[in-house]
Chains A and B, each alone.
Chain A
Amino acid sequence: MNRTTVLMDLMSDNGIALSVEDLSTYFFTGQGVAKAVEKVGFNIKKGRTFALVGESGCGKSVTALSIMRLVPAPPGKIVGGKIVFDGRDLLTISEKEMRQVRGNKIAMVFQEPMTSLNPVYTVGNQIVEAIRLHQKKSTRQAWLGAARMLKKVGIADPGQRVREYPHQMSGGMQQRIMIAMAVSCRPTLLIADEPTTALDVTIQAQILDLLDELQTQNKMSILLITHDLSVVAERADDVAVMYASKIVETAEAKPFFEEPLHPYAQALLKSLPQLDLSPKRLSTIAGIVPEPLHFPAGCKFHPRCRTGCNDARCRTVEPALRQIRPGRDVACWYAPGYETDKERAEYESKYGKR
């Protein structure tokens, strides 16, 4: 690719690498329909890291699997929405076309490198497979490519390591292999699903630095999925907070951490033990994360919310994600500037003045 085409490419579609609109993914189980992802929408800008943060079961991983079209079906099904990548809706293209995208243009790194690598093949074999599948290269070239990739992700003695099996490596090294495999076809989007959760802090820092380096080199976008707000603060440019299948707040990372707007995001940040603070007690969020089969009515956070638990509207009407000022989207009736005058009047006529 020469310079002009790169520029053209960057300029087309407003610098957005992937756009998700109104995505809904449900699981049809014996006990009922579990709405794992409901009307989720966000844009990942080119060359930036977009973090999707939430607790277990909030639907963040299902969102990632939906983008890759890897939701196990049945029982899972993407029931609506659009995922626009490279000018195409990934949900309408054929499986054959999808295979050209998956692992090539969009690649994924999983949480547990120990279970995501195939134990009976050498790591070289597994990287070569990815390269040969998507690029016209001879076996010899592909093996050289694999060794080069290992060097790139910081593995010493790559010529020897390509011939080794995953069990011969440490967790951190296995995660480096996963990353090498994912970026071997120079994807434009890398989905990293809890890439450092299984790793020690010093190794976590190394892997985060590595992702940073590869992002700058390859100009790729990263969708970072995590439950760890400190990883988000460390690495992300944009943030979306998910709670019970929905996005409740999106913003750029800096303003988000300075002033989170949704009560859930506020409470989550406050409940983290931090190095530079030493409180007597931690602030907590009462209750538990609801399960998709038993979501509360109204705002799904209301049973655990300080403002919402006694509010009649929060208990019955779910607020939608809405922009309340440039760059700040939130889904809470009581976020400053959220309510329209009309809604306020309606509320007061229904439930009385507040």
Chain B
Amino acid sequence: MENADNYILKVDDLKTYFAIKKGLLRRTVGHVKAVDGVTFQIRAGQTLGLVGESGCGKTTVARTIVRLVPATSGRIVFEDIDVTSADKTKLRRIRKDVSLIFQDPFGSLNPRMTVGNIVADPLRVQKKLSGPALTNHVATLLSKVGLSSSHINRYPHEFSGGQRQRIGVARALALEPKLVICDEPVSALDVSIQSQILNLLKDLQDQFRLTYLFIAHDLAVVKFFCDVVAVMYLGRIVERAADDEIYRRPLHPYTRALMSAIPHVDPSLRHQRSAPGGEVPSALEPPEGCRFHPRCPLADDNCKKHTPPLEKKDDSEHFVACWKS
């Protein structure tokens, strides 16, 4: 049985490479290994947080799941559909059951469409709704996300960043999806608005039994929001564990470094951090062996040569990819 564990999404050894083409004949001269062997599962009703610095491949994972970019190899199973090999009909079902909320509320809404049309579009395409039924449905959706039905005929530019993000949420919920992929949904918003949107997403999750794949770089936001956290570095997951566990006992040196780099909202805790030196290397030529070794304080010769697999630690659901842990 595929779904014995109640997993709604299973990603297995996913690789997404982008070819670099050069010259007159556009010959492939190399690959950007944006996602290089990522494995995780999400249980229905849960929230998985995917954390990492820019360029680590977290957005590419999201885009591959909905097949906006093709996977190079590996398997993605959503419910009982294999996404990587799905035909047109199946793909259409995936696009209905999986929706996206984007980071930039300014760039992700068409400025020439009214709010009503933005939210109604998926309903027209997928459910063939029209007329008053459609209008009613849109009005209900808007009120669910804290907007009023009087906003239907307005355009995105008339709204603030937080309100626009609410429009994006309404659009994502229009088709009653099972899985919602939130790609940095609050990082472009003001602090006082961030908490409003995070609470809204949590309420909607309870109301509609949504499953979230929550992509973020802010560890504090992820701690508040997620049940399971996976930390990505250069196209690979380096550690994955339940939210309490990973924050209490981070095992991978990169996770530890990330945690200590977060500034605390308390001046008396100043200078207790130890940020890792150096920067994230290019995904074009990732380092041999463990990809974190050039920045890792614990690295030795073995780390430079052999890539550590993501393995269970002492029988718990705590996975880590480090020779030294």
Contact = CB atoms under 8 A, between A and B. Distances in A.
Interface of A: 55-56, 170-173, 200-206, 208-209, 227-231, 233-235, 253-254, 257, 267-269, 271-275, 278-279, 281-285, 288-289, 304
A286 to B, nearest CB: 8
B220 A274 contact: yes
Nearest to A53: B191
A273 B224 contact: yes
B194 A271 contact: yes
Nearest to A173: B279
11 contacts: A171-B54, A202-B53, A208-B263, A233-B267, A254-B267, A257-B267, A281-B199, A281-B202, A289-B192, A289-B193, A304-B192
A46 B9 CA distance: 57
B44 interface: no
B126 interface: no
B270 A289 contact: no
Contacts of B195: 271-273, 282-285
B275 A257 contact: no
Contact of A230 (B192, B202, B264): B264
A53 to B, nearest CB: 10
Interface of B: 53-54, 160-163, 190-196, 198-199, 202, 217-221, 223-225, 244, 247, 257-259, 261-268, 270, 273, 275-277, 279-280
B276 A202 contact: yes
B146 to A, nearest CB: 10
A61 B85 CA distance: 51
A339 B169 CA distance: 44
Contacts of B225: 273
B199 A288 contact: no
A282 B195 CA distance: 6
Contacts of A274: 220, 265
Contacts of A275: 219-220, 223, 247, 259, 262, 264
A229 B277 contact: no
A288 B162 contact: yes
B191 A205 contact: no
A175 to B, nearest CB: 11
Given A273-B198, A275-B259, A281-B199, A202 B275 contact: yes
Contacts of B244: 278
B265 A202 contact: no
B54 to A, nearest CB: 6
Contacts of A254: 267-268
Among A173, A227, A230, A254, which residue has the most Cβ atoms of chain B within 10 A? A230
Among B202, B266, B277, which residue has the most Cβ atoms of chain A within 10 A? B266
Given A202-B275, A257-B266, A284-B199, A268 B220 contact: no
Contact of A205 (B193, B267, B275): B275
A278 B224 contact: yes
B193 A288 contact: yes
Among B194, B258, B265, B277, which residue has the most Cβ atoms of chain A within 10 A? B265
Contact of B257 (A202, A231, A235, A288): A202
A227 B191 contact: yes
B89 to A, nearest CB: 40
Contacts of A271: 191-192, 194-195
A337 to B, nearest CB: 23
B257 A230 contact: no
B115 to A, nearest CB: 16
A278 B222 CA distance: 11
Contacts of B263: 204-205, 208, 228, 230-231, 233-235
B72 to A, nearest CB: 25
A172 B279 contact: yes
B221 A273 contact: yes
